[in-house]
Amino acid sequence: MKKVRVLSIDGGGIRGILPGTILTFLERQIRQLTGNPDAKIGEYFDFVAGTSTGGILGLIMLCPDANGGYRFSAKEALDLYLDQGDEIFDVTVGEKVKRMGGLRDERYSQKELERALFTYFGETRLSEAKKPCLVTSYDIRNRTAFFLTSEKAQSDVGDFYFRDVARATSAAPTYFEPAHIYSIFGTPHTLIDGGVFANNPSLCAYAECRKLDFAAILKNENKPKMPSAKDMMIVSLGTGSVKTPYYFKEFKDAGLMKWVQPLIDIMMSGNSETVDYQLRKIYGTLPAKHSEDYYRIEPVLQNASADMDKADLQNLKALHEDGLLSVSRNQDQLNAIAKKLVEYA
């Protein structure tokens, strides 16, 4: 029996360059191992989950081409950030003043983001995803976590355009306005960034996979039906650990204005750390041959800014450099992952 290969990618705005760089390395290793110079990273995962920028990366990996193959490589996914990141997170001085840095209005217009998403995805629907997937978002009208999944997308009520799924999961409060999107059936939804409750969607991915019949979905009798932890290999990629310290003397009399940004920082990193803790405990109960199939790689921000929207050319380059450093520091682990991804195919 072959294990289900699960990829989960955290949220983190422009810091998506970091997991994008890691996935590009993994794809290159897979091509060497298989002798297939055209192999694409999406082919070597059976399920993909993503939040915010991680959701966008995941959707790019699972986008079909006109012939039913995988349209984009990991490098092409990375290029969205390196080539267009400065345009997506661009704002004039006049707009900055008008928006008061996000206090009066969202910091950025969604137009450039939506343009980029349309360029990549066009009319592709979630039901057309090459592999099962889950993308997180939050419904602010009905006050509930909203999971956009390929399973639900088999019905028009739960099916959406890729571009709208990507827009919804990346609608970070104060950065972009909420996404007002419609299902293929025509049902309206008002959604924001899934990072408000699941910045690390690995546990969501685990729960979703538990109920899926991968043998039937993938048309591969060697894959399990409703897999448990021992039947899954999970690769969880972070977008750079943020450990800005906050001191008592600075916050003992802090009000709402001062707490807003630190709270966003703490909630996002705290969620990611908690999910990692929970999955390590789950895999820690398994026999040794299975317990090593959970991987969490959290890149270190050494040269780049931790700001999710700092997309000037200098920081884009610095983020790519930090991604390459993370590859170097985790090379043995990444080589082991690449071998398993091929082995469990």
Choose among 267, 183, 326, 240: nearest CA to 54: 240
Tell me how far apart the 2 most distant CA atoms of the chain are, in Å.
61
Q: Is 52 a catalytic residue?
A: yes
Q: Taking a C-beta distance cutoff of 8 angstroms, is the pair 68, 58 a contact?
A: no
Task: Report the C-alpha gap between 21 and 321 in whole angstroms.
Answer: 9
Burial class (CB in 10 A: 0-12, 13-18, 19+), 79: middle
Strand residues in the chain grouped as ranges (E): 4-9, 47-51, 133-139, 144-149, 179-182, 188-193, 232-237, 294-297
Return the sign of the alpha-carbon dihedral for residues 114, 298, 201, 244: negative
* Distance of alpha carbon 265 from alpha carbon 314, whole angstroms: 23
Of the residues 46, 159, 193, 276, only one is catalytic, namely: 193
Q: Is 107 helix (H, G, I), strand (E, B) or coil?
A: coil
Catalytic annotation on 193?
yes
Among residues 8, 46, 52, 293, the one annotated as catalytic is: 52
> Measured between alpha carbons, how far is 99 from 68 in angstroms, rounded to an integer?
44
User: Annotated catalytic sites, by residue?
Assistant: 52, 193
